[in-house]
Amino acid sequence: MITTVYSSVRGYRDIMTIQRSLDAFKLLITATSDLLRINQLKAFGSAALNHLLTLMELESSALYIARCQTDYDEKSTNSIIACTGKYVSESDSLESSNISGLIKKMIIQAFDNKRHYFGPDSFVGYYETDSNSASVLYIEFEDDSEHFKSNLAELYATNVVLILETLTKKHEIERTQKELLYVVGEAVEARSKETGAHVKRVALICGLLAQKLGLNERFIDAIRLAAPLHDVGKIAIPEAILHKPGKLNDEEWEIMKTHAEVGAEILSKSQVSLSKLGSKLAHYHHENWDGSGYPEGLKGENIPLEARIMAVADVFDALGSKRCYKKPWSDDEIKAFLISEKQKKFQANLVDIVIKDFDEFSQIRTQFPDDY
């Protein structure tokens, strides 16, 4: 009888204990889903810390995530990629960050020895994420009686680090893509003796125009990325024509105009979305709203929207810049020209947007000046 009662009571306690674990596991799983939806490193760090605090039933603490990345040439760099709590800046090199020396030492130790450390009021977890990167999670507890003993928090930490790794890689490759596109665009422009900053500015102006048109985020990002490719066809134009200081004669002009189709052809070799957009920009950025442009003489909305945006951005920036055959125009001259070309060269509402927020567009030029 007594045994039965005992066992019953123990049964109840066990149920409570397991039920609590169950709730915690559910929390862990939804926390993982939450993290998977986050695309920003900063937001990621905060969310991960808050989930950990909840899982460990703590009030507050600090979390730093350091990452060791081994490059293709086996050089390693340690950086802080997410943090929350006392230390707030991010994406620093670990060395130059203003994290305290003791903590730096603990993090480096974890990287070197490839294992976890438990301090009196901290936990340092080491996680190998793939063959060329590892992460260290440093957690400091406010209440020094608490330790990082929860198996649950450990499980969660593994997911945190794995998701963060994917996120970091995605950011890295996106940055690589953007920079390579600028570099290529600049190389092409350098050939036609325009400065590289034109490429960057036109990309930003296209993005701003797309944004003010209310187009979706994906379109804005895509046009900003692909814009540097719009003149890639100039690669095939003889320098005698490209660098002629005076006016081109008819024959030279015909050759010059081929850069639109050549660029489109170069980019059409790839079927990825960004190349297809670049191909459209290259092909149609000299078409005019009234049909007087080249190479196809398309009219109005038959010209792809991407190219109509590009046309305005390209001319807006070129007018304000110095070229071998002209001085930069004043703001008033640019405004007057754009207005005079409404419904002729340019779609009217695109001109209206630039005129309305002229200063905002001009600011892009101020931010990225040509250097002579």
**Interface positions, 337-356, toward its own copies (CB under 8 A):** none
Q: How many residues does the chain have?
A: 372
Counting contacts by CB under 8 A, is residue 32 touching its own copies? yes
Choice from 271, 359, 366, 371 touching its own copies (CB under 8 A)? 271
State the greatest distance between any 2 C-alpha atoms of the chain, in Å, as a whole number: 111
The distance of Cα 233 from the centroid of its chain, to the nearest Å, equals: 26
Pick the binder of its own copies from 137, 260, 277, 313 (CB under 8 A): 277
Tell the smallest beta-carbon distance from residue 272 to its own copies (Å).
4
d(CA 82, CA 198): 34
Among 91, 109, 158, 362, binds its own copies (CB under 8 A): 158
Structure tokens at 38: 């986050």
> From CA 137, how far away is CA 110, in angstroms rounded?
9
Stretch that binds its own copies, among 68-76, 139-147, 248-256, 339-347 (CB under 8 A): 68-76
324 forms part of the interface with its own copies (CB under 8 A)? no
Interface with its own copies includes 155 (CB under 8 A)? yes
From 88, 102, 173, 336, residue interacting with its own copies (rule: CB under 8 A): 173
Contact between 234 and 188 (Cβ < 8 Å): yes
Taking the complex as a whole, the smallest distance from the CB of residue 43 to its own copies amounts, in Å, to 14
- Helices 331-340 and 348-356 pack at an angle, to 10 degrees, of 160
Active site residue 26: no
Q: At closest approach, how far in Å is the CB of 218 from its own copies?
A: 5
Q: CA-CA distance, 361 to 212, in Å (whole number)?
A: 11
Determine, following the binding rule CB under 8 A, whether residue 92 of this chain makes contact with its own copies. Answer: no
Backbone angles phi, psi at 89, to 5 degrees: -75, 165
How many Å apart are CA 117 and CA 95, to the nearest integer? Answer: 20
* Catalytic, out of 212, 234, 280, 345: 234
| Residues annotated as catalytic (active site), given as ranges | 234
